[in-house]
Structure 1
Amino acid sequence: MSQHTGSQTIWISAEAEAATQGKSTQPWQATGISIDTRTIKQGDLFIAIKGDKMDGHQFVNEAFQKGAAAAMVSQPPSNAGGPLLVVGDTMKAMQDLGMAARFRSHATVIGITGSVGKTGTKEMLAVALSALGQTHASKGSFNNHWGVPYTLAAMHPGSDYGIFEMGMNHAHEITPLSKMVHPDIAIITTVAPVHIENFASEQGIADAKAEIFDGMDHNGTVLLPHDNKWFAHLKAAAMTRGVKVVSFGQHADADIRLVDCLEAANGSRIKAWVQGENVDFTLLIPGRHIAINALSVLGAVKISGGDMKKAVAALETIQPIAGRGKRELLDIGDPSNPVTLIDESYNASPVAMRAAFKVLALIDPGRGGRRIAILGDMLELGPNGPREHADLALPLQTAGVNLVYTCGTLMKTLHDALPANQQGEHRATSKELAEIVPDVLTPGDVVMVKGSHGSRMDIVVETLRALPGQKNSGKPANKKGGMDHAI
């Protein structure tokens, strides 16, 4: 066990030098890792990453002014304001630091990938495992070639659990991430035609997700979605690599099965069968897709030998997060009849859109209110993009959505496919849409905002949040007709 267990220190200069083959200008110790001076904390090791647009070396002195304990650099600045760890290449050194953190750790490490649901599943698992021990998890969606080593490097040596999200846009991107993380347990949430423009077929996406097995050994276990059409393909790939398979889903043969899910506007009551154990619980995040992802969380707890009752009790407290279903009440003139804003702005795909519409259908508008969807382009869908957008017309009608406002080239195909009475306005960009949407809202409306990250639908969300007279409680909306009344 590391000498730092029981303290806040995660790196001392001697250990960091050994990991990176670097040289410190003077001894130091750090309690955190940062690559961004906007969010740096007192005691952090600042790593000066050179990116496509910015070079972290320009901000080294600012990092020291904000309390950095040391800075990892490849180009030592003159008159540095604190200790430096000088390395040949800061990106490679961060990867080396991450791998050193992994191999000194005795934590149970879980890796998560999938076409959709990665971050939500990671957040649920972090809450569940935090009830059982010291837990380290990726921040936000730090799941790429810099986010994963950054998260690894920041893991405290005394952590009991480590949770790492791994994403990809192309083949061969997850393999190096998995080899860094070396998961004891892996979760593949689902396989769907997301980023399909970068692949010859959907099977290519399944194969790319299966790369998570490349960093696992024969003692590893993967949780696979039994309901997904690529389940057998993924299972065969896992078994070829000697990785044990546990399945989850609604399928009768699933090892972890959703027995019942009673859905309501502000959550679900769930009955699950977890490898021979009956587990009943309530989630405050609505949607059957969320309940199914929660099964993989329970599976990871079970496989790791954790206390299921404590983990379930923690799961029952989790709330939707910003960009992924967080709800807020906006007072636009009638405090007793607010607008409900559902922030789904972080990302989107056809399967995620349909799941979000089902949740929207569960929420009853207030007096005189309507269900309104404000949607931006779903990106990286390849030649099928226009059709995938137009095909959202039917699920929107099924969900009882009254008005649909859209922006982006691809969403124009959806706008044109909608019946006239459901068409809102269409604009080229989210910024243009944000200029007109506030004037459309009336008290009692339920408004969902969703689109791919590149569509910048967060601009619309922030515009709505800034409406005059807003009263944001910071708590999920819980209108009459929600779980307390419907279940």
Structure 2
Amino acid sequence: MTAHPALIEWPGDASDAAGLALWTSAEIATATGGRASAPFAVSGVEIDSREVREGDLFFALKGEASDGHRFLDGAFGKGAAGAAVEHACFGPHVLVSNTATALEDLGKAARLRADAGIIGVTGSAGKTGVKEALYAALDRSSRGRAHRSVKSYNNHVGVPLSLARMPAATRFGVFEMGMNHAGELSALTQLVRPHVAIVTTIAPAHIGHFSGEEAIADAKGEIFEGLEPGGVAIVPHDNAHYERLRAKAALHAARIVTFGQHADATVRLIDAVPAVGGGTLVTADLGGRKVCYTIAQPGAHWVANSLAVMAAVEAIGGDLGAAGLALAEMEGLAGRGARHTIAASGGDGSGAALLIDESYNANPGSMAVTLQQLGQTPAKRRIAILGAMRELGADEARYHAELAGPIAQGKVDRLILVGPEMVALADALGKKPGSSLAAPIDVAHVDNTKEAQACLAADGVRGGDAILVKGSNSVGLGALVRALTAREQ
């Protein structure tokens, strides 16, 4: 049987003429001002020799504690097609004066050559989820020609690396940008040069490096400085620092789009109700046009995130239907809401418990919304394993103590606090020796992840449990999640 040509042929696209290689040695040398030892072509770019795949270009970066040149043997042994180096080596390479500068230059060249719609995402919380949802939506509607920064590659090394990995034929690029000091986003956004720039929310993350939340809002607002002419700024209307963000956006954006529940929001939430099987059914007004879609991820924070996603997809000229499908299918990210069913005994007799992995980061705002969602999660028993929140500065004790309220909203039955910073919360809950307060829940305070794991094991994981694991990444609760998911069903 002969298939009809219309069923087997994609429509033509000018970018189809682009070469299959990500970069040739000549292109790398031109972009970086370097000198190629021999002709070669690469299919990827990597900075960690342990992660090198066959065909990659390995950048031998020099850091404070290590020098990538020491790992050239390992990189070539794993199949690297070439390397960017500061001194000649035995394998195919491009010789540059400074590998860090060369990586940035290659990222700039990638951004310059791609005729793509570019979205930049930042915020105190939700930026990785929004980035992933945008990528899923735009990749679905562009024949697989969307690109995004992977993992949390959002700093002065991760952003140029993510740019350098962008193929010439890319139609849409989505880049996450992070910061913990003023001025960092200003530099990153000048590299990315987004057509659409999003601030998801402002909260006291990394506040130890700032004078207050206003200063955090100013630093996050730096993302608008890199907007291309005619660019769109997307701002959270419900945030306490909305006016400050909008004023910053007005200096650089041709158009400002707002999202939230506020009556004046450009992309406005009309209704959000629990969906069958979990998640939320959302109805939103996109400036006179109503859309209805389902979000697989539970929680009010994901409702807000979805509005930002819809605003960005419309602003960049994407497909709103594809965005709705992406949100409906999107699973939780590792360390950022992934849900696992793990084996359990006793309890309700189901033989299973729910593990909610939020182990990658934590700040007062994200702790509050995650605990609130735990309280709405059906469970016979709710266990929260909470790690310390880092980089909170002089008000660290207060921020930890104030989690007592969200813990009550979370309907927590068993609480394990991890890290010395959590002593303030233990005190607020009445568990500090000599306190007159009575704790309505079972609370344990331990120093580290290993002790937290032993504490949980002593009590056991029971059928019907819902276990939330959340804390700053440096606390190391990811190890506890990996130990628990080893028994995943």
Q: Above 0.5 in TM-score?
A: yes
Give the secondary-structure state (helix, strand or coil) at the position aligned to 1:149.
helix
Q: Percent identity?
A: 42
SS at match of 1:412: helix
Q: Is 1:94 paired with 2:108?
A: no
Worse-superposed segment, 178-187 or 377-386: 377-386
Letter paired with 1:32: G
Instruction: Give 2:368's match in structure 1, choosing from 348, 351, 354.
Output: 354
Aligned pairs for 1:316-465 (under 5 A) are: 316-333=328-345, 336-365=350-379, 369-418=380-429, 419-440=438-459, 441-465=461-485
Q: Which amino acid aligns with 1:291?
A: V
State the SS of the aligned residue for 2:390: coil
State the Cα distance separating 1:291 from its structure 2 match. Answer: 1.1
The aligned counterpart of 1:482 is none
Please name the residue that 1:201 is paired with.
212
Residues 1:59 and 2:64 are matched in the alignment = no
Contact 1:76–1:86 at 8 Å: present in 2 too?
Answer: yes
Amino acid at match of 1:453: N
Farther-moved stretch of structure 1 (278-287 vs 454-463):
454-463
Provide the rounded CA distance (Å) in 2 between the counterparts of 1:10 and 1:207.
Answer: 36
User: Map of 1:221-232 to 2, 5 A cutoff?
Assistant: 221-232=232-243
Query: 2:138, 2:319 within 8 Å by CA — same for their partners in 1?
Result: no
Consecutive unaligned residues of structure 1, counting only runs of 5 or more, are: 473-487
125, 136, 152: which one aligns with 1:116: 125
Quick check: 2:15–2:169 contact (8 Å CA) kept in 1?
A: no
Q: Counterpart of 1:452 in structure 2: which amino acid? A: S
Whether the aligned pair in 2 keeps the contact of 1:250 and 1:257 (CA below 8 Å) is yes
- Checking the alignment, whether the CA contact within 8 Å between 2:344 and 2:352 is kept in structure 1 is yes
Deviations 1:92-139 (A, max 9, x none): 000000001101111100000111111011111111111111110010
Structure 1 position 242, deviation (Å):
4.3
- Residue number in structure 1 paired with 2:432: none
- Report the counterpart of residue 156 of structure 1 in structure 2: 167
Q: 1:218-367 to 2 correspondence within 5 Å?
A: 218-263=229-274, 266-333=278-345, 336-365=350-379
Q: Which amino acid aligns with 1:377?
A: A
CA–CA separation in structure 1 for the residues paired with 2:254 and 2:205: 25
CA RMSD, aligned part only? 1.7
Total equivalences in the alignment: 463
The 3 A distance-change label for structure 1 pair 413 and 158 is same
1:34-49 paired onto structure 2 within 5 Å = 34-49=46-61
Q: Does 1:192 align with 2:192?
A: no
Query: What per-residue deviation string (whole Å, max 9, x for no partner) do you get for residues 370-400 of structure 1?
Result: 1010000001111111111111112211221
Kept in 2: contact 1:191–1:230 (CA 8 A)? yes
SS at the partner of 2:136? Answer: helix
- Give the deviation of 1:197 after TM superposition: 1.1
Give the 5 Å matches for 1:467-482.
Answer: 470-472=487-489
- Shift of residue 217, structure 1, vs aligned partner: 3.3
Change (3 A) 1:46 1:304: same
Q: C-alpha distance in 2, partners of 1:266/1:348?
A: 24
CA drift at 1:452: 0.7
TM-aligned CA deviation for residue 4 of structure 1? 8.0
CA contact (8 A) 1:263 1:287 kept: no
Distance 1:424 1:465 in 2: 23
The equivalent residue for 1:20 is 32
How many Å apart are 1:416 and its aligned residue?
2.1
Q: Would you say the 8 A contact 1:136–1:162 is kept in 2?
A: yes
**Among candidates 124, 127, 131, match of residue 136 of structure 2:** 127
Displacement after TM superposition at 1:316 (Å): 1.3
Which amino acid letter does the alignment assign opposite residue 110 of structure 2?
A: A
Does the aligned pair in 2 maintain the 1:46–1:63 contact within 8 Å? Answer: yes
Is the Cα contact below 8 Å between 1:132 and 1:306 reproduced in 2? yes
DSSP-derived class of the 1:420 partner: coil
Give distance in 1, aligned partners of 2:453 and 2:20: 44
For structure 2, the 5+ residue unaligned runs are 1-12, 430-437
State the distance in 1 between where 2:133 and 2:355 align: 22
Tell me by how many angstroms 1:350 deviates.
0.6
